[in-house]
Amino acid sequence: MPDASHHAPRSLDVAIVGGGLAGLYAIHRLRGLGLTVRAYEAGSGIGGTWFWNRYPGARCDVESLEYSYSFSDALQQEWQWPERYGTQPEILKYINHVADRFDLRRDVQLNTRIVSAVFDTRANRWVLRTRDGEEIRARYCVMAAGNLSTPRVPDFKGLNDFKGRWYHSGLWPHEGVDFSGQRVGVIGTGSSGVQMIPLIAEQAKHLHVFQRTANFSLPARNGPMDAERERRHKAEYRQRRIAAADTPFAIAGHARPTRSALEVAEEERNQAYEAKWQEGGSISYLYSYTDLLVNKESNDTASEFVRNKIRATVKDPRTAELLAPKDHPIGTKRLCLDTNYYETYNRDNVTLVDVRSDPIDTITATGLRTKGGQTFELDAIVFATGFDAMTGALNEIDVRTTDGPGGKSAVLRDHWEGGPLTYLGLMVSGFPNMFIVTGPGSPGVKTQMIASIEQHVDWIANCIDHLQSKGLDRIEATPQAEQAWVEHVNAVADSTLYPLANSWYVGANIPGKPRVFMPYVGGYDRYKRHSEAIAANGYEGFTLGTHERAEAAD
């Protein structure tokens, strides 16, 4: 890819941070308004999450016919997904196809990490700076930097002394890793760990899995795409997308439950769970009854069904009990989907190590040691330890405003010191003309992510279009609206069982991170109606204006 930086326009209508699914759609959509746009991507290729997460078994846990762009019917008709759930290489191929088909590449600058974004209040311009010192000035800034894009390796002592190789799931080498004949340790049993463990076990001489918290996982029942199913889905694609937009997860095809789990006799309930278990997929399981995510007693029935499946699958009773989650209700941490995860623990070359009761203390030159003094000899260590979720990517950029008329200077890291504050997940008070895609306060991570990306980007595009049509050039969330939204996000979360889990939704995986519930769990459908009504009602909770007027007030 030629370095385009010296040809880049330094002055843009919209600067976009990130060249993943969100950044690419933002280019397409904003270009359609006649705006000059450019996306800045740290990676050497486009695709964001699907560019970086190349670990064995990486695939989406939402079915591909759903997890794809809906903005072009021609695109969704012509693209063929080979399997029910897309693998990382397939999804990356799709993203590259979209970039070519819609001629997006000419507005993506690769190998370019944005290190600061400063709003020049007087000039009414965002000034972005790259790590290489390039400066970009733009009227608007769209942060499409991802919400699970800042990989975190725990702060273990001794990692520098380790003589073997170590990897993080989200920074996987492009050439792949051959674990044949090696003694491998995987730390972490979230979605990434659960996907990679069965495949690494097939290669490694021995695999130790270091588990701090057992996670619920359901069988994905992946397989080749059923041609008839694909044909039917494509024939109804438009209607299905419309139907999806009217659901909490933005996924169509699952009948809304009508009864509480407690209204049903145990035998009938277990039959229902069994049918969902056989069908595969997490939405379907959590949709068995109306109240699985709001009523602990109901949830217990669904949790216990899966615990019993684990007990029936894993032969060693001690390992089975360790794998059976007991500290959080099913679905309150991201529910994993797997292929042969629990079965893998029946292999002779796989050992589960409980690092809840005996935490990892030190990485040594030849492996690791726990606080209780257990030592493990390892040739390779894989950190499937997750991300500084939701806020990590933005907090890595020095986002601030200059002092200026009509506005005090502000620093995003300071503003978010006690936890992220946004209005609708889209804007932050004190930071005019900066939009965020699927950030904190957005339903994004709790939905079919591409649907939320498209919804947010459409909202942003309509907003910029509205400003232009009214001769305005500045929009900012009011502190009151931001405060009310954050309270609403937390109130909605508190009406569910989600806060019972120590998850990345509350920043629990990062020591010292403020415990605030970050995603909006009120549902995609509710969010879409609400955010669109706000726009239709003249952008309630936002201040719209022109910077000349602000100057005049100086």
Residues lying near ligand N01 in the complex (CB under 6 A): 60-61, 148, 154, 169, 187-193, 195, 210, 212-213, 334, 337, 355, 360, 384-387, 445, 504, 509
Plot region of 133 (φ>0 → left; ψ -120 to 50 → alpha; else → beta): left
Please report how close the Cβ of residue 131 comes to ligand N01 at its closest, in angstroms: 25
Cβ closest to ligand N01, residue 360 vs residue 463: 360
The Cα 148–Cα 280 span in angstroms is 24
CB-based contact 405:551 (threshold 8 Å): yes
**Is 213 or 295 the residue whose CB approaches ligand N01 more closely?**
213
CB of 163 to ligand N01, least distance (A): 21
d(CA 19, CA 193): 25
Q: How far is the CB of 237 from ligand N01 (least distance, A)?
A: 22
Shortest Å, Cβ 348 to ligand N01 = 24
Dmax over Cα atoms in the chain, in whole Å?
75
Q: How far is the CB of 381 from ligand N01 (least distance, A)?
A: 12
Residues 6+ apart with CB under 8 A from 74: none
Q: At what angle do helices 449-469 and 21-31 cross, to 10 degrees?
A: 30
* Residue nearer to ligand N01 on the CB measure, 29 or 333: 333
- The nearer residue to ligand N01, 325 or 420, going by C-beta atoms, is 325
- Least distance (Å) from ligand N01 to the CB of residue 111? 24
Neighbours of 160 (CB within 10 A): 7
* DSSP annotation string for 446-490: GS-HHHHHHHHHHHHHHHHHHHHHTT--EEEE-HHHHHHHHHHHH
**With respect to ligand N01, which residue has the nearer C-beta, 118 or 449?**
449
298 vs 385 by CB, closer to ligand N01: 385
Closer to ligand N01 by CB, 121 or 303: give it. 303
Which of 188, 281 has the CB closer to ligand N01?
188
Chain position carrying tokens 């929009």: 475
| Half-sphere exposure of residue 168: CA atoms within 13 angstroms, side-chain side | 13
Q: Is 322 left (phi over 0), alpha (psi -120 to 50) or beta?
A: alpha
Report the C-alpha gap between 439 and 141 in whole angstroms.
14
- Do the Cβ atoms of 497 and 299 come closer than 8 Å? yes
Query: Residue with CB nearest ligand N01?
Result: 190
Taking the complex as a whole, how short is the minimal distance between the CB of residue 214 and ligand N01, in angstroms? 9
Q: Which is nearer to ligand N01, 86 or 407 (CB)?
A: 86
As beta bridge partners, residue 117 has 128, 399
Instruction: Report residue 31 as tokens.
Output: 């270009």
CB closer to ligand N01, 357 vs 480: 357
**Which is nearer to ligand N01, 301 or 391 (by Cβ)?**
391
| Min CB(3)–ligand N01 separation in Å | 32
Q: Which is nearer to ligand N01, 188 or 420 (CB)?
A: 188
- CB of 24: closest distance to ligand N01 in angstroms? 19
What phi and psi values does residue 243 have, to the nearest 5 degrees? -65, -40
Distance of closest approach, residue 55 Cβ to ligand N01, in angstroms:
8
User: Residue 272 Cβ, how far from ligand N01 at the closest point, in Å?
Assistant: 24
- List 218's β-bridge partners, or say none: 337
**Closest distance between ligand N01 and the C-beta of residue 210, in Å?**
6
What does the CA dihedral 522, 523, 529, 530 come to, rounded to 10 degrees?
30
- Return all residues near 399 (Cβ < 8 A) that are at least 6 apart: 116, 117, 118, 411, 412, 413, 431, 434
Q: Which one, 385 or 438, has the nearer CB to ligand N01? A: 385
Minimum Å gap between C-beta 113 and ligand N01 is 21
Minimal distance, residue 523 CB to ligand N01, in Å: 17
Q: Using alpha carbons, select from 91, 105, 150, 109 the residue that is nearest to residue 10.
A: 109
State the residue for tokens 């942003």: 460
d(CA 12, CA 408): 24
| Cβ neighbours, 10 Å, residue 100 | 10
Q: How far is CA 414 from CA 399, 425, 518, in A?
A: 10, 18, 17
Between CA 187 and CA 477 the distance in angstroms is 41
Tell me which residue of 128, 76, 127 sits closest to 97, measured CA to CA: 76
Q: Which is closer to ligand N01, CB of 63 or CB of 482?
A: 63
